[in-house]
A and B are shown apart, each in its own frame.
Chain A
Amino acid sequence: MMTKERLKNKGSLLLLAVIVFSAGLQSCVSVKAYQKMYLNDQDMQLSIRKIEIPELNFQSYREGASGGSKGKTGGGCGCN
């Protein structure tokens, strides 16, 4: 039962990755600099915004999982 459940989870993850990757490739177009008015909007930036830093810090302490979002992955004990 456990193995079936694991395989099911792995399968759904793989499906997710394939669909996202395919959607990304299909959507790819060459965008000129003068067409980037929306992409250059500050809400479209792909990096973490500075105001999110305090939340990233506490999440990295309160959850066993951290990283993958350009947040802090070490340093500081977070022991309280």
Chain B
Amino acid sequence: MRLQLIFVFFLVYLGHTRAQDVNTSYKDKKQKSSLEPDTARIRKEVEVDFLFSYYDQDGNHSAVTGGLGTEELRDYSSTILVNVPLDSTSNLGVQVGVNYYTSASTDRIDENMSSASSKDQRGQVYINYTKLLPNKRDSYSLNGGVSAESDYISFALGAAWTHESPDKNREFTISWQSFIDRWLLIFPDELRDQPEITMVPTDRRQSHSLSFTYAQVLSPRMQLLGTLEGVLQNGLLSTPFHRVFFADRELIEIERLPEHRFKVPIGLRWNYFMSENIVIRSAYRYYWDTFGIRAHTFNVELPIKFGLAFSLSPFYRYHRQSASRYFAPYREHQITDRFRTSDFDLSRTQSHKYGLGFRFSPVYGIGRFKFFSRKKVTMFKSLELRYAHYDRSDGLRANVWSLFCGFMIH
């Protein structure tokens, strides 16, 4: 409640003090709409971006061991994002990524430490096609992809339609996204010869989302975006190797969750160019789902510019959620509970994330060379580094390092 009030006063104060002192001598060189979602933009040059990240976490509430046990995990990921203009009105984007992770919690699926389940790889490929229609105000995009790890495969399919106002100050997008997933069922070692305990209704999971997004320019320095989304999930929504222990019995079971889940996230983004060198990027989200989780998330980032090339961005994110009605900690479930989980991701928690981003992006690029093509010049246009620390109220701690290198081929 206190957080919501602070946010309201913050908005009202900035709404009244909004600046109208636009430097009209500075012409808009790009003439593009700042409202367009990144994936929908029609580019004129080939862009090749590299994204690397390192993630580590530790805690003591692993769901694999029933809500008590190490959650130590390290994840290394590399992603290449390529955008190729096919002609002046269409664009093809390809994203290829690989993750490698080691996990102390999944190592506890069986009794052998450092076994096959202690590490895994994940590969993913996504393709996106965007077409701007002849009226230059409507565009559509289609996307598809696949991601696979040793016990899980996921196929993605989606489409979006965007309509922009003639003055490019308002934009409406409707988008649909589906994921068709399939598990390779792996159960805790000690339960594999007990089919009455490990019986699950299906090895499939589907997620379908429909979202409506409205973006509005409020002033020459301020813009807003609202998103309403509905997500329907069906199938095996529990994880087959998550254990559950009971308060009243010396018995081990696997996690059980309903086969249907409906989620409604409502998001609001608000950006304000406060002064010549400070921008406020803020976001709020309210979340509701049929598992009983209600959540509020607030995010603020303050990019500070040093000249035209450098910027530093401190940021802070607060998240608070209520527990799912199916959650209980280690040894607190009753045998009569039809659905049960000891996964602390579904528990009542608060989390704080904070960190710093750095960007070096000179107007004419960091360097030029002939690397991807002999005839064309490649420009190393931007370099970004970002660090985030994450603290969850149940003791989980995480760190994320991300490095982004952007190239453009002329």
Q: Name A's B-contacting residues (CB within 8 A).
A: 8-9, 12-13, 15-16, 19-20, 23-24, 26-48, 50-55, 58-59, 61-70, 73-77, 79-80
12 additional contacts (CB under 8 A) given A27-B219, A77-B152: A19-B11, A31-B167, A32-B167, A35-B24, A42-B361, A46-B271, A51-B402, A55-B388, A64-B289, A64-B345, A66-B263, A74-B209
Query: 6 tightest A-B contacts by CB?
Result: A74-B207, A68-B265, A68-B267, A75-B179, A65-B295, A54-B53
Which of A8, A43, A51, A73 contacts B229, CB < 8 Å?
A: A73
A58-B265 contact in complex given A27-B15, A67-B229, A79-B241, C-beta closer than 8 Å? no
A53 touches B321 (CB 8 A): no
Inter-chain contact B400/A54, CB cutoff 8 Å: yes
B279 to A15, Cβ gap below 8 A?
no
Partner-A contacts on B (CB < 8 A):
1, 4-5, 7-8, 11-12, 15, 18, 20, 22-24, 26-28, 30-32, 34-39, 49, 51, 53, 55, 57, 63-64, 73, 75, 77, 79, 81, 101, 103, 105-106, 120, 122, 147, 149, 151-152, 154, 156, 167-169, 177-179, 181, 183, 205, 207, 209, 211, 213, 215-225, 227, 229, 231, 233, 239, 241-242, 263, 265-271, 273, 279, 281, 283, 285-287, 289, 291, 293, 295, 297, 303, 305, 311, 313, 319, 321, 324, 345-347, 349, 351, 353, 357, 361, 384, 386, 388, 390, 392, 396, 398, 400, 402, 404
| Cβ-defined contact, A23 with B28, below 8 A | no
List B contacts of A15 (CB < 8 A).
Answer: 8
Partner of A70, one of B12, B37, B77, B219: B37
B-side contacts of A46, CB under 8 Å = 34-35, 37, 215, 223, 225, 269, 271
Bound Cα distance from A73 to B230, whole angstroms:
10
Q: Please indicate the chain B residues that have their CB under 8 angstroms from the CB of A74 in the complex.
A: 154, 177-179, 181, 205, 207, 209, 231, 233
